[in-house]
Amino acid sequence: MERYSRQVLFQPIGREGQEKLGRARVLLVGCGALGSVLAEILVRAGIGRLTLADRDYVDESNLQRQSLYTEADAREGLPKAVAAVRHLREINSAVEIVERIADVNALSVASLVQEQDLILDGTDNFETRYLLNDASLKWNIPWIYGACVGSYGLCLAFLPGLTACLRCVLQQLPPPGSSPTCDTSGVVGPIVHLVAALQAAEALKILTGNLRQVNRKVVTVDVWENRVATLDLSQLNRDGRCPACGQRRFEFLEGAHEGRTQALCGRNAVQIWRSSPRPVDFKPIAERLARLGPVQYNEFLLRAHVDNLEIALFRDGRGIIRGTQNSDEAQRIYAKYIGN
């Protein structure tokens, strides 16, 4: 308890709150910019178990804002989940930390959210957030939405049965390319830390049982335009017509919106799945691709350069094709060099 003395002295948490934190199980989806900060705050605060799910690997262009990672992580090409867990264990060895190098999608989400007390959004896309929203409602787990782009960001906590849900706020999935992303507008470090700090504060309230303190309003901040605002959403979905929280139709969990490819925010890259995931043997692929360009691989990931593109291939056959945003081109490259 000495380790957490300053937090225990803070009266709304106290000894009882700290013990609750010590038993709390949290799923963090996405360990990029927001996820780095969220993971560090929660691990330092002494939660019981953190499950980290991330599908990506550390790249040099992440280091400007993704505060858990180092140049060595980027050089090694480590999956973010692996690098994050290494650093987090050095920060607090008492916290159980579970790494999942995985895409969170309609197939994988059920096993990830089981036995969690809270879901934290460190993602960069609406498809995954709508999926988390469905999972939150179906399994009655609070989740905390966070997003930032440019110098602007927002935070909103969703408590099933007590607040509106994401689909009350945004009925339809915004069409691809309709909203600004880190890809098109960039992002500055301070807004990431600010939004993640807001999310982490709501997380501490929820995990210590201070539900009445949870902010029921959406908070928006622009650190460049010097604007902070809140918006009250308590009047939303009074009529129960929301398909997700009102009618309990979980379209994203059912996979109705899933494709086999997806453009990735900030990466000029496309992610591609196999229709039936199965383990991949890197060695023969590396030997084959080495004739075409530089190839490196470790136990988690293979990276190869072909046709002015980079292919990153994970153990389960999932690929990230970098250097294009064209799904058809990415599928063609994957089929040509990896197979189907």
129 near Zn ion, rule: CB under 5 A: no
The stretch near Zn ion (CB under 5 A) out of 7-15, 178-186, 202-210, 241-249 is 241-249
- Cα separation of 75 and 77, whole Å? 5
> In angstroms, what is the minimal distance from the CB of 242 to Zn ion?
3
245 near Zn ion, rule: CB under 5 A: yes
135 near Zn ion, rule: CB under 5 A: no
Draw the binding track, 148-167, toward Zn ion (x: CB under 5 A; -: no contact).
-----------------x-x
Which letter, b or e, does each residue of 211-243 get, where b requires 16 or more Cβ atoms within 10 Å of its Cβ?
eeebbbebbbbbbeeeeeeeeebeeebeeeebe
Query: Which amino acid is it at 270?
Result: V
Matching residue, tokens 């002295």: 9
> What length is written for the chain?
340
Catalytic amino acids? 182
137 near Zn ion, rule: CB under 5 A: no
CA angle 160, 4, 87 (to 5 degrees): 80
Q: Would you say 104 or 137 has its CB closer to Zn ion?
A: 137
Q: Would you say 244 or 312 has its CB closer to Zn ion?
A: 244
Among 43, 53, 101, 242, binds Zn ion (CB under 5 A): 242
* Total site size for Zn ion, rule CB under 5 A: 7
Tell me if 33 sits within 8 A of 65, measured CB to CB: yes
Which tokens hold the place of 3? 């380790």
132 near Zn ion, rule: CB under 5 A: no
Helix (H) or strand (E) holding 235: none
Q: Would you say 165 or 333 has its CB closer to Zn ion?
A: 165
Interacting residue ranges for Zn ion, rule: CB under 5 A: 165, 167-168, 237, 242, 244-245
